[in-house]
A and B are shown apart, each in its own frame.
Chain A
Amino acid sequence: MTSRKLTINGVRRTVDASPGDTLLEVLRREGYVGVKKGCGSGDCGACTVLLDGRAVNACLVLTAKAEGKVIVTIEGLAKGDALHPIQAAFLDEGAVQCGYCTPGMVLSAYDLLSRNPAPSEGEIREAISGNLCRCTGYVKQIRAIQAAAEQMRGGRNG
């Protein structure tokens, strides 16, 4: 094990990790269980986190590659008790069913909306194309991201 310095949800932490450990393993070991393990091969997107603002599969990122970068998990999106507008929109639109894909879907949406505040439906579909949902038909998630975009453009996002 090697000590590695990571910035997770705004907190600088020193974690123990073997050279071959993925970010998924380390984050879950450290208690960030909103990072889900699904396929372990980058196909499902359940383990999505933000790395320097970009959504990535934590199962495909070696922890050593995350050193010096800013990691945000779903636990880091809300401000205290106030949900992020994307999270709130997912609830309002009923875009959550079993919930396993939701953290990844929300973080992929965050990556998209931070670069493109007014995405088309096609752009939303492309942005979440790496996040599989086996409960729904993606309709409500897309609607939620559109609603969140509208709200964030209105300046109600912190």
Chain B
Amino acid sequence: MEDVGLRHIQSIVRPTTADEAWRLRTADPETTRFLGGGIDLVLYTPETVTTLIDVSGLSRARVSAGRAGLAISAGMTLSAVLETPEIAAYVGGFLRDVLRQVASPLQRNVATIGGAAMRAHPWSDVVLALLVLDAEVEVFNGAARSVPAAEFYASRSQNVAPLVTGIRLPQRTPSTRGAFEKFVRTGFDVGLLNCACVVEVTKGVCSRVRVAVGGTPALARRLPDVEQVLEGRHLSSTTVGEVASLAARRVDARDDRRASESYRRKLTEVGVRRCLERLTGGGSEDAR
């Protein structure tokens, strides 16, 4: 049988604390990687890597609810996260619905939320969701801290990415709604583009508006100009059209082998419009 494993891996170590894991990782950044679910490592690990640091035993896999919101431990698989009642109830099931569209069930049963947040592929649906939910990423890089997702992904130029130990989702009001749209050629192919909107709607008026687009082909980013236009306004069809059109102009779309810049702008317009229509209760699966 043709090799499918990682011939260059010589050892797998299992630290018992985040501090120990971090020291192992930083002692030799070229030859080590953190191991969570392991999917990305099997597929993409460079041959210079010889030691995997298994961090899956550092915390108990669970979602815990508190006054500040939800805390998800990094080692939970995507399937376990989306099957949690707290996640099903959070922002009308927005995060559950996003996770159900990530890869295949077979991969979601292995991939961890921490791994997805840390690896942050440009087409990542998880990163997109964390941005529009105002999530915080709990990290350890010598000390534990919690970083807003937007800040975490904007500062990812450091040599050794911090160890992600958890995700925090803020408490949201019952009037918060979210919608997600993803354009893919097949069910779990890498997406051509994805977008998401989370909005608090009180008496028809929008507040705490979050709009983000990913796979442009760059990593997901929020569109502050677009969010500002929607803030304080009713979600009328005119507004939806105006906002979707602005998003298409503002998105940092570029060409790559999957799609052209112009096509991605069109996808952005259609995706944002569909998301906003879904928030108003309009639009339908049939319209897709």
A interface residues (Cβ-Cβ under 8 A, vs B): 18-22, 24-25, 28, 37, 40-42, 45, 48, 51, 54-57, 59-62, 64-65, 108, 111, 126-127, 129-131
B interface residues (Cβ-Cβ under 8 A, vs A): 1-12, 35, 37-39, 41-43, 52, 54, 56, 77, 79, 100, 103-107, 109-110, 187-188
Contacts of B109 in A (CB 8 A): 51, 54-56, 111
Provide the bound-state CA to CA distance between A41 and B43, in Å: 7
Interface pairs (25), CB distance under 8 Å:
A20-B5, A22-B5, A25-B1, A28-B1, A41-B43, A42-B104, A45-B104, A48-B106, A55-B109, A57-B110, A59-B4, A59-B42, A60-B110, A61-B38, A62-B5, A62-B35, A64-B12, A64-B54, A65-B35, A65-B56, A108-B105, A126-B100, A129-B104, A130-B106, A130-B107
Provide the bound-state CA to CA distance between A59 and B104, in Å: 14
Provide the bound-state CA to CA distance between A48 and B109, in Å: 11
B12: shortest Cβ distance to chain A, in Å? 5
Find the A residue at minimum CB distance from B10. A19
Contacts of B107 in A (CB 8 A): 42, 57, 60, 130
Provide the bound-state CA to CA distance between A143 and B100, in Å: 23
- The answer on a CB contact under 8 Å between A62 and B4 is no
- The answer on a CB contact under 8 Å between B110 and A56 is yes
A116: shortest Cβ distance to chain B, in Å? 10
B107: shortest Cβ distance to chain A, in Å? 6
A28: shortest Cβ distance to chain B, in Å? 6
- The answer on a CB contact under 8 Å between B106 and A42 is yes
7 A-B pairs closest in CB distance: A130-B104, A20-B6, A20-B9, A130-B106, A40-B4, A54-B109, A19-B9
Contacts of B188 in A (CB 8 A): 129-130
Provide the bound-state CA to CA distance between A19 and B77, in Å: 22
- The answer on a CB contact under 8 Å between B105 and A55 is yes
- The answer on a CB contact under 8 Å between A40 and B2 is yes
A19-B12, A126-B100 as given contacts; A57 in contact with B38, CB under 8 Å: no
B124: shortest Cβ distance to chain A, in Å? 16
- The answer on a CB contact under 8 Å between B106 and A56 is yes
Contacts of A62 in B (CB 8 A): 5-6, 12, 35, 38, 41-42, 52
Contacts of A130 in B (CB 8 A): 103-107, 188
Given contacts A25-B1, A51-B109, A55-B106, 15 further A-B contacts (CB under 8 A): A18-B7, A37-B2, A41-B43, A42-B43, A42-B104, A42-B107, A45-B106, A60-B43, A60-B110, A61-B42, A64-B54, A65-B35, A108-B105, A111-B109, A126-B105
